[in-house]
Structure 1
Amino acid sequence: MNKEQFSRMKDGKGFVAALDQSGGSTPKALGLYGINEDQYSNDEEMFDLVHQMRTRIIKSKSFTSDRILAAILFKVTMNSKIDGKYTGDFLWEEKGIVPILKVDEGLAELKNGVQLMKEMKVLDELLENAKERKIFGTKMRSVVKELNEEGIIEIVEQQFRYAKKISEAGLVPIIEPEVDIHAENKAEIEEILKREVVKQLKALDKETYVMFKFTIPTNAGLYDDLVEFDQVVRIVALSGGYTREKANELLAQNKNMIASFSRALSEGLNANQSDDDFDKLLDESIEGIYKASVEK
């Protein structure tokens, strides 16, 4: 583990940029960026275009360590290069931004009100690849759709089971049990989710460090006291389908949460914008998210 990166993630001021759209979400991300599906004919061309988009964001003069602590990458991005350097190396060496890797292989079918992660069949290989690319941590997502205690317990147990394996490999996992913002009884779901997270944290080895990525809770401050556990490095929030303005408003009410926004970060960016217009909009986006993350 890189101690400088660990210190930055634990105590630094800023937020986490989520640039990890993968196969299923990439066409939508490109579409929002102004690149339609008729502009590429296969996955290779699609991922090349999304890497160009991510490169433009990362190389922007607005995308700096003054406000951004880390960036979450997809495997293809991690193994691609920016100005001759692997993306993780470019982020850390040129920008001072910690690289993190999305490791899950997508969501399973809905069962017991939740979507677990699909079995990670290539996790060992991916973690070795991540260490070669000097990646600090990982991120993995599952989703709670309904109030179902059995499903919520299963979600948390699966997340912690994989988290322990990732920690043993020398990386710091982000545990992401998303709660659908449109779920009925969202506040009650979040209370059960927190209860199960605390139960797992109490049983966690003291040398196993984790981070969390939660949907911004209905009851502000719900997750704030999780930072009191020595094993918890950071708590970040996903935008979950909220507009950037709404996500920032809700996030600002949670003292110990910082942003880890994806769509809300890139909202309004377009492939056809001039570099000046692109940088101006990105700067405004980053500034708003930064303030919601640190000015409590």
Structure 2
Amino acid sequence: MVSDNRGLLAIDESSGTIKKRFDTIGVESTEANRRDYRANLLRAKDLGHYIGGAILFDETLRQSAADGVKIVDVLKAQGIVPGIKVDKGPKPLAGFPGETVTEGLDGLAARVDEYVALGARFAKWRAVIHIGDGYPTPTGLAANAQGLARYARICQEGGLVPVVEPEVLMDGDHDIETCQRVTEAALDAVFTALKAHGVLLEGMILKPNMVIAGSDCPTQTSADDIAARTVATLRRCVPAAVPGITFLSGGQTELEATVNLNAMNAKFGPNPWKLSFSYGRALQASALEAWSGKAENQPAAQAALLKRAQLNSQASAGTYTGEGVN
């Protein structure tokens, strides 16, 4: 999924999240509209040259396009591996205000069996780490790490490659040093738990945040600083056995996510793992706007997605030179 400078397309927005995004373009979030939007993007010509896997929502994995072709088969025709989001979302962690823990372990083994039968070959589970006054606590980090490890082991036993996503949120006014400290603590907790549960590190992908200042921090740093701190954190915390690290965009703009990824690969390599992307908004924002719910705009939406996928593939190789690249 990360070979040949390819990355992952996170097109697994929950029903609530995609409704918010459709609201921005004045489109009703019906099952048919969600299907048409996603199926069209996944049919962008040559998308598989830049995208190695697509993370789907449960609804999408079960759907067929308007012409009757299963979405899973649309992906396979592109050479893209179908994946599935399996967590049930973060919920408040009892006794620890400001912290959450992700739910969804109950019945997961049975769901994994079903998803494999439906054509999925990898899965994703997101743990959310908030930075605030007095948190995250060691207990909060440990709870989320245990959830990620249990999920990963269940997936490997059931035949799905786990994408392990501990996200330290950009929300807040914390500086980049705080983000780096918390990210290192989160990754340390996660890999301690993964090893304790016997997860095969060679058979997983890590999907972390970049080390970046909070969105409300008055002092924002350069792409080079973000890249240097991110790579340093990964070298300290992530075993070389992990084959690929696909970053989430986490609220960055399309341009920021591409520039920061490129700086890591162009200036701070080589590294023992592939450094690639697993973006949602940072791949789809322009495509969503181009589509605007109109069938006649489907080619423009495909072109917008393909452009961002190509540019991020270049960033994965450290060869991105700007938005004018064709």
Bin of the TM-score, shorter chain as denominator length:
0.7 to 0.9
The answer to whether residue 156 in structure 2 is matched with residue 173 in structure 1 is no
For the residue of structure 2 that corresponds to 1:175, the secondary structure is strand
- 2:277 maps to 259
* 1:174-213 mapped onto 2 (5 Å cutoff): 174-183=163-172, 184=174, 185-203=178-196, 205=198, 207=200, 209-213=203-207
C-alpha deviations, 1:66-102, integer Å up to 9, x for none?
Answer: 111111101110000134332222211x110011100
CA distance in 1, matches of 2:100, 2:264: 26
CA distance in 2, matches of 1:13, 1:58: 18
- 2:226 maps to none
- 1:215 maps to 209
The answer to whether residue 10 in structure 2 is matched with residue 26 in structure 1 is no
Structure 1 residues 126-135 or 164-173, which shifts more? Answer: 126-135
Unaligned 5+ runs, structure 1: 1-8, 41-45
- What is the aligned counterpart of 1:81 among 64, 86, 90? 64
TM-score (norm 2): 0.77
**Which amino acid is 1:52 matched to?**
D
* 1:98-117 mapped onto 2 (5 Å cutoff): 98-109=81-92, 112=96, 113-117=98-102
For the residue of structure 1 that corresponds to 2:126, the secondary structure is strand
- 1:121 maps to 106
- 2:115 maps to 130
CA distance in 2, matches of 1:124, 1:165: 6
- 2:254 maps to 244
TM-score (norm 1): 0.84
Unaligned 5+ runs, structure 2: 213-228, 266-273, 320-326
Shift of 1:162: 1.5
C-alpha deviations, 1:36-80, integer Å up to 9, x for none?
Answer: 3xx36xxxxx2321111001101122x522111111101110000
1:59–1:288 distance in 2 versus 1, CA, 3 Å: same
2:129, 2:166 within 8 Å by CA — same for their partners in 1? yes
- What is the aligned counterpart of 1:284 among 278, 291, 307? 307
Structure 1 residues 197-206 or 78-87, which shifts more? Answer: 197-206
For the residue of structure 2 that corresponds to 1:116, the secondary structure is strand
CA distance in 2, matches of 1:10, 1:285: 16
CA distance in 1, matches of 2:57, 2:152: 18
1:21, 1:74 within 8 Å by CA — same for their partners in 2? yes
Question: Percent identity at matched positions?
Answer: 25
- 2:150 maps to 161
Shift of 1:110: 5.1
1:148–1:206 distance in 2 versus 1, CA, 3 Å: closer
CA distance in 1, matches of 2:204, 2:230: 22
Number of positions where the alignment pairs a residue of Structure 1 with one of Structure 2: 277
**Which amino acid is 2:18 matched to?**
T
Structure 1 residues 286-295 or 16-25, which shifts more? Answer: 286-295
* 1:49-64 mapped onto 2 (5 Å cutoff): 49-61=33-45, 64=47
CA distance in 2, matches of 1:247, 1:119: 29
1:227, 1:235 within 8 Å by CA — same for their partners in 2? no
